[in-house]
Amino acid sequence: MKEKSENRKKSTMAIREFYEDYATLLGFSGSEILYRIFDILYDEKNDMKILKALPGNIESISTATGIPVQELEPDLDRLWRKGGIGGAFGNYFLLKGLIILRDMSVMWPEASQEYWEVWEEMFNKEHERHAAHLNSKHYPPALRVLPVQETVDSESQVLDIESAVKVFKDARIISAVDCACRLQAKKTGRGQNCPSPDTPNCFATNLMAEMSLARGIGRQISLDEALKRLKECEDAGLVHMARNNVAEDMVMCNCCACCCHGLHMINDGSYTGAFAPSRFQVRLDADACTGCGTCEERCQFKAITVGDIAEIDLDKCFGCGNCVSTCPTEALVLTEIRPKEFIRVAKR
């Protein structure tokens, strides 16, 4: 009996030690809230052994853990489908950012209400520490704004790599998934007045699409359906965001200020590096502006206030074009202000 108690104590200490190491990697040393997330996410007998053996492929993980490949394979697949680990091309790894861990794991189809609520508590109570961690790391922005193409002036060029329509037209496969931010908001009592359409409108192409389908969190859609949903997002005033390193395999979010965690941090000033702007910025024809206020309502970045006419804080403008597309007097337009080299391209 005493030996069993000692073994349990050692096991608990080992788990706690791993939790602290992983929490420190994510920037949240000692966070009891994050430990509770880990408790729910990593709840099977082999999970700690597997996590400590990462990164690696199934053979190296089997060697490190002593778990036979036949037993290990379903465990790795389960952890990957839950979003508790990353995986690509037969290699598995820990997810090294809080947002990607949240985004991957809250899409887990069997996620409990408790899991949603603990993540909500994490963002509410650890918000300042999260922003401080991100600011200290100087990461490049994860996503980049894509402009509504029709809102760019005729003298500016919209490149294929910054065209949401072109991203879809060049894809061999497209999937649609629920937005992790919006899903969490709705599951925890926020976002009731979100302008987003009800259909899933975060998208993935090619390998990213295939991974979402394999995990059971996405549904394949046609090009026509993708373009239809894209237009619905534009009409709703959502901001097109694509991965900020152009590659064949793309992800595209359509973000709102009421649910999106990145937009929340930009708008409250705690972390302004979450997203990169487009190469464009809005310009106002003051003589044509009637001060109707439509642009202020549409701006997800809180860059516009309207008195007699619109006043635009250009430092806050990310060049999405939402304000332009619904201006009744065509007093607004996007114009090119950044070079083509501004757009990051993935290394091959």
Task: Determine the CATH number of domain 2-137.
Answer: 1.10.10
Instruction: Report the alpha-carbon distance of residue 55 to residue 337 in Å, rounded.
Output: 42
Burial of 3 (0-12, 13-18, 19+ CB in 10 A): exposed
DSSP 8-class letter at 154? T
pLDDT score of 7: 39
pLDDT at 9: 44
Domain ranges of the chain: 2-137, 143-342
- Provide the pLDDT for residue 153: 87
Q: What is the pLDDT of residue 60?
A: 97
pLDDT tens-digit map of 211-268: 999 999 999 999 999 999 999 999 999 999 999 988 889 999 999 999 999 999 999 9
| pLDDT at residue number 347 | 65
Q: Give the relative orientation of helices 127-137 and 113-125 as an angle to the nearest 10 degrees.
A: 70
pLDDT < 70 regions, the chain: 1-11, 347-348
In the three-class reduction of DSSP (H, G, I as helix; E, B as strand; rest coil), residue 203 is classed as strand
Residue 280 DSSP label: E
> How far is Cα 269 from Cα 142, in angstroms, rounded to an integer?
17
What is the radius of gyration, based on Cα positions, of the chain? 22
* HSE (side-chain half, CA atoms, 13 Å) at 337: 15
Q: What are phi and psi of 127, to 5 degrees?
A: -60, -50
Phi, psi of 93 (to 5 degrees): -160, 160
